[in-house]
Amino acid sequence: MKYVGDLSPKVVSKALIAIDIFFDGMEQEDILLYLDVVIPKLIEVIAAPQATPLMKSAAVSAIGSAVQVSEQKFEPYLSQILPACIFLL
C-alpha cells in the first residue's frame, strides 16, 4: 500500500494491479482483514485529480475483485465508494 502514494504513475499503476491480483486470489474470510485499509486508498486514487486513467481503472478493478470475493460482506464499504464514482465521469 505504501506505493499507492508514490509520485510515479507507473509505480502506482503497477501497485494497484498487484492489489487487484492479490484480492482476486483470496478467500472471503481473508480479504475482510484488508478492506478497512485498502478501500480508502483505492477511493483516494479514484478521486485524485492527478490520477491517470490507467490508475483509476486499476483501482476500480481492484474494488471489483474485492466485491467479487467478499460478496455481501462488502456492503459497509458501498457508502464510501459510491460518492467517489462521480470522479469517474
CB atoms within 10 A of CB 4: 18
HSE-CB for 36 with a 13 A CA cutoff: 3
Rounded mean pLDDT, 69-83: 93
Place of cell 459497509: 76
Structure confidence by residue, pLDDT tens digits, 20-55:
999 999 999 999 999 999 999 999 999 888 889 999
Greater confidence (3 vs 72) lies with 72
For residue 2, pLDDT beyond 80: no
Confidence band for 71, pLDDT divided at 50, 70 and 90? very high
Average pLDDT, the chain: 89
pTM check: above 0.85: yes
The whole-angstrom separation of Cα 30 and Cα 37 is 13
